[in-house]
């Protein structure tokens, strides 16, 4: 039997985050990235927005918010909860990729893909206009998964 935790981060901070939804019983964590924030000097408004969003995403479940170094904090969190699996929704940010790589030396990391606006393979075109020409028809077509999610979640 494996124990899992869910890791929420600033690129996926939703109460219907795919990793959260996939593991509803797992303890979940959001970490304010201390070394990054110390350098970035963001306004308080941004941090409060993240905090409020994390609080709501973690509402009603075994959820925790920390301030610290992300990888070390998640490692300790896994040990505390006797977990050997980390479930997380992907991000294209280089920092996210580094963290996942570091965590993989010790844990199994299961990465979820959010539904894209349009499927895309290969390199990005040089200009948006070329991208739009190729995806326009598909971008305007519903895929059917969104409205149902809203029906369940609407306030």
Half-sphere exposure of 108 (CA within 13 A, CB side): 8
- Please give the Cα distance from 135 to 130 (Å, whole number): 9
Q: Which is nearer to another protein, 109 or 118 (CB)?
A: 118
As measured in angstroms, the least distance from the Cβ of 17 to another protein is 7
Q: Which is nearer to another protein, 1 or 92 (CB)?
A: 92
DSSP string, 11-30: TB--TT-HHHHH-TTS-EEE
As measured in angstroms, the least distance from the Cβ of 23 to another protein is 17
- Please give the Cα distance from 126 to 129 (Å, whole number): 9
As measured in angstroms, the least distance from the Cβ of 6 to another protein is 14
Q: Which is nearer to another protein, 1 or 140 (CB)?
A: 140
**Residue 20 contacts residue 8 (beta carbons within 8 Å):** yes
């Amino acid at each position: 039997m494996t124990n899992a935790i869910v890791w929420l981060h600033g690129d996926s901070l939703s109460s219907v985050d795919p990793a959260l939804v996939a593991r509803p019983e797992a303890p979940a964590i959001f970490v304010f990235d201390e070394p990054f924030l110390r350098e970035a000097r963001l306004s308080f408004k941004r941090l409060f927005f993240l905090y409020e969003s994390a609080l709501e995403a973690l509402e009603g479940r075994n959820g925790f918010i920390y301030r610290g170094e992300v990888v070390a904090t998640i490692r300790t969190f896994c040990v505390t909860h006797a977990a050997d699996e980390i479930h997380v929704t992907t991000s294209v940010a280089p920092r996210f990729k580094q963290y996942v790589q570091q965590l993989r030396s010790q844990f199994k990391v299961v990465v979820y893909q959010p539904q894209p606006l349009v499927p895309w393979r290969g390199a990005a075109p040089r200009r948006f206009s070329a991208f739009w020409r190729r995806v326009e028809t598909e971008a305007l077509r519903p895929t059917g998964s969104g409205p149902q999610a809203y029906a369940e979640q609407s306030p």
